[in-house]
Each structure stands twice: as structure tokens, then as C-alpha cells.
Chain A
Amino acid sequence: MIIAEWKPLSELTAKLRGHKKILLVGCATCVAECAAGGEKEVETLAPLLRMALHKEGHPAEVVTRTLERQCEWEFVEELAPLIPQVDAVLSIACGIGIQAVAERYSEVPVYPGVNTTALAIREEPGLWLARCQACGDCGLGETFGICPVARCAKSLQNGPCGGTRKDGKCEVDENLECVWYQIVKRAEARGQLDKLLEFRPAKNWSNSLHGGPKRVLREDLRP
């Protein structure tokens, strides 16, 4: 899932000062799963914003709506009747959802209420860890299903650095497993340690963020 975190309330109120009626929009998909932008969070943030803005001397009405998916135009359309009634929108969906709302309703200012953080998994209740960086050239088949791009502090492709601690933790963070230690352990458990010695062509980084905006085109699905 895409994970996100609320921006500090002071940053939000600084953007919203002066607006009299604000639409706070959430998304019931990824950001709901990571407890940042679902209906529950929308209903928590709305009274907080009202109180914070009032306290700062800029009272405002906050209306709320949570879309099923803020990254799909069909769902974004549901906001159409509300937009003429508000003078600002605060979205707590991921960056994709925020941009979709800002594009469809360019007549009103749309502010981000969260920082979109990573593609992650819920490791345990209240803890999410990055698992993917959408690098565009997946090598999980060669690394026994563990991604060194997202999970190694240095995104190393060819084995651990010299900083792995004796207990198999990362030198950058003692709470973090050295991902290459994990890869080697899994290869060993499968009796395929030699697979790690196989030649691998250089990773194609041009598909990653360095290659400019990505696009996927499927002619068979186009109208």
C-alpha cells in the first residue's frame, strides 16, 4: 500500500488561514489502511482543524467527505456538487489523489494534508515498513523475494556492505535488519546459496525516478 503521514497541524493551519469553508477529503483505500487518510482520520482531523483555526483567530467551517478511491476519476467526480460551496480543499489522500482532485477542480486551491512516504507493508499494528520503491526493473526473482532497493539503506545490489552488525542489523539503524543478511539466510535455507553468485546484468535504472515521469501504455485497454 501507499503510506502517508499527517503534516504538522501548524503547517496545515498556515495554509488554510483565511479560508472560510474548507472541504477535507479522505481516501478509503491505501491511506485508510495506514491510518492517515481514511474516514476515521478525516473525522478526527476536521474538529482539530476547526479548533486550531478558531484558536488562531481564523474560524472556518470544515466539511468532510471520504472517497472510495481518490486516484480514480469516477470517484473524484463525486466532489463536483461540493466544490462550488467551498473555498479550499484539503486532501489527505496520497500524492496521486491530491493531484487528481487538484486537476479536476483547478478552480479551487487544493492543499496536501499528508506527506506521502512510501510503498509499504503493515509489519505489525502501528508499524509500517517500506517494501518497494517502484524502481521499474523488479529483481525480486534474483534476491529471493526481498528487495534491496527499498530495504537496504544504500540500495546495494550485490551483497551487504561492511557495516552489517554482528547480530545481522543495519549499521544505519539498529532496529533494521540488514536486508542482504536476510537474502543470504533465505538462499541458504533453500539450499540455493550459489544462485547469488550468478551473473546479473546491470539494473536498468532508466525506468526508475531518474528516467523522468513514468508511463504505462496498454493499447488493448484504450478506448
Chain B
Amino acid sequence: MEPRTEMTREDLQSGFKPEIILLYCRRCVEEEADLFIAAKATSRFAAKLVMMPCTSKVEESHLLKLLAEGADGVQVVGCPYQQCQRLLGNLQAERRIEHARGYLREIGLGAERLGMERGLHFSGLQLLLLAEKRAHAVRPLGPNPMKGERIP
């Protein structure tokens, strides 16, 4: 299934095209994955794919900085439970993400801007679908207010 490229009436009205940063563990993708696929811009959302050595390296500060710099959503993609090369690394990453989501809720920015998905052997297209999933979750929240932050 390819990411939908057509815009709904609602999208057209709002003109909102979520920018999603997708951080993925290098072990989650198939060897031949076409990771340049994100460059194929869709009209509904924009995605930037960033490879990590392991999701265990994801810190809350990394995720929050991406949002503070204006990303509309951040999707982390890690290995399935009990299949992390760092044993519990992906589980701890999930806890940190949940913790950071609590802060986003607390400041009213929306916990849905941050999420995690799991799996193995993802193709480039499948990663893009996971980015679209986050874009879909983010859409009701509207654009990140940090976009174009100006300090008077």
C-alpha cells in the first residue's frame, strides 16, 4: 500500500502538510531498502528519515529538540520486543518516549506528536507509511506552534 498522495478537502482547506521526522533503528530495515523514497514528496505530508544505531540511543532531549525546532511530529521505529540488540534498549526507549509524551501533554503541545512503532525488515515504502501514520495522528493538532519561532 502506498502512502496516499491526494489531499482531502480538509487538507486543502487547512493547507497543513505535517513535517514528520522518522528515527529508525538500522536493524529494522531490510538490506535493500530504498531509503531515498522519502525524497519522493507526497502532497499530504513531508518525511525525513534518520537512521540510528539502535533505538536505545534515543534520549528525550533528542526528541524534544526536534519538536522545539518545528517538526510537527516525530516517529521512532524500533525492533520488536525482546529482539533488541541491546536486550532492553528498545523497551527503555519506549519508556523514555512515554515520559516525553507526558511532558508534551503537560505543556499542551499534544502527546500525539511523538510515537513509536515496532517491526523488522521494513522497506523504504513501509517506513514512509509509518511516517504517514504519525502525520495522520498529528493532523488534528495542527501545525507545531514552534514553526518559525521568533523571539521579540
Contact = CB atoms under 8 A, between A and B. Distances in A.
B65 A61 contact: no
B109 interface: yes
A51 B107 contact: yes
Nearest to A125: B92
Given A50-B68, A51-B64, A59 B107 contact: no
Nearest to A59: B151
Given A20-B151, A44-B59, A44-B61, A50 B146 contact: yes
A125 to B, nearest CB: 10
B152 A51 contact: no
Given A52-B107, A55-B109, A47 B61 contact: yes
Interface residues of A, number: 19
Interface in B104-151: 106-109, 145-146, 149-151
Interface residues of B, number: 19
A62 to B, nearest CB: 9
Contacts, number: 53
Nearest to B103: A48
A44 B100 CA distance: 9
A40 B149 contact: no
A40 B59 contact: yes
A20 B152 CA distance: 8
Interface in A82-106: none
Contacts of A43: 59, 61, 65
Nearest to A50: B68
Contact of A60 (B65, B67, B151): B151
Contacts of A195: none
A20 B149 CA distance: 13
Contact of A55 (B145, B150, B151): B145
B60 interface: yes
A147 B29 CA distance: 53
B92 to A, nearest CB: 10
A21 to B, nearest CB: 8
A55 B107 contact: yes
A50 B149 contact: yes
> Across chains A and B, which 6 residue pairs bring their CB atoms closest together, nearest first?
A47-B68, A43-B61, A52-B107, A47-B64, A44-B61, A44-B60
Given A9-B106, A51-B146, 15 more contacts: A40-B59, A43-B61, A44-B59, A44-B60, A44-B61, A44-B100, A47-B65, A47-B67, A48-B68, A48-B107, A50-B146, A51-B67, A54-B146, A59-B151, A61-B151
12 contacts: A9-B107, A43-B61, A44-B64, A50-B146, A51-B68, A51-B109, A51-B145, A51-B146, A55-B107, A59-B150, A59-B152, A60-B151
